[in-house]
Structure 1
């Protein structure tokens, strides 16, 4: 009897945690743009949240950078050496903590190995202060 009560309580806690996640997922829903009618991808970040000469790692999946004011780039956050997620961005460099690979924020190219290939570039659209996957 006690076990059933605990299991029921755990199920309720999981269900409420899932309910809390759903509003965040809604921000990544695709939307049609008014001007063109084409579908825009999920919002990655606001332009104001990406520092000039730096960047941000978004949801552990993407890296969005602003190498110079007003120029934005996006890359996969997956290191091309062995697939680890990059972890930090400092001094114009995207850093992988697993084996020390480093990538340039301007183009994702390798600044230091062991990686030999650049980070995969992602297409983005920047409009009205918002950066979306394109």
Structure 2
């Protein structure tokens, strides 16, 4: 018997309800996975074709850096005239880094520190370096991407 009666109404069996709920959940998971596989850039990843942000050479101090929070990029100048760019998303738990000082890119969330020279971990809990991002000098402006 596939149905039971409750005050004269047909009631679906528990197995039918559970199977239907599983099908709805699987459809949602499939849609989510399809979105993960898209070619669109993630909002956590710096744009590969440039951010459009205007950044001047003079905005980035020697031995320090400048965080572009909207673009999620940090640009550093380890030595005069040498510019580097890295993802500003901490590799520990995804916070955007908060400052650049004393030769390190600093994350206030859990205390991770990264080198302004190569993005390597100088102090954990992060265990992976900040991914590098392209940067070039065009006159007195820096171009990302």
Do the structures match in fold with TM over 0.5? yes
How many residues are matched? Answer: 96
Report the counterpart of residue 82 of structure 2 in structure 1: 71
Tell me whether 1:90 sits opposite 2:101 in the alignment.
yes
Moved over 3 A (4+): none
Report the counterpart of residue 112 of structure 2 in structure 1: 101
Which deviations, in whole Å up to 9, do the C-alpha atoms of 1:73-121 show, x marking residues without a partner?
A: 0011100001011001110111101111000100100001110110010
Which deviations, in whole Å up to 9, do the C-alpha atoms of 1:34-72 show, x marking residues without a partner?
A: xxxxx8662451001100000110134110000000000
Distance 1:130 1:81, change over 3 A: same
Distance 1:40 1:83, change over 3 A: closer
User: What TM-score do you get using the length of structure 2 for normalisation?
Assistant: 0.62
Question: SS of 2:58's equivalent?
Answer: helix
Tell me whether 1:55 sits opposite 2:65 in the alignment.
yes
- Report the Cα distance in structure 2 between the residues aligned to 1:122 and 1:44, rounded to whole angstroms: 16
Tell me whether 1:46 sits opposite 2:56 in the alignment.
yes
> What RMSD, in angstroms, separates the aligned Cα atoms of the two structures?
1.6
Tell me if structure 2 keeps the 8 A contact 1:44–1:133.
no
Tell me if structure 1 keeps the 8 A contact 2:56–2:142.
yes
Larger radius of gyration: 2
Tell me if structure 1 keeps the 8 A contact 2:121–2:127.
yes
Q: 2:138 aligns with which of 118, 127, 130?
A: 127
Structure 1 unmatched runs, 5+: 1-38
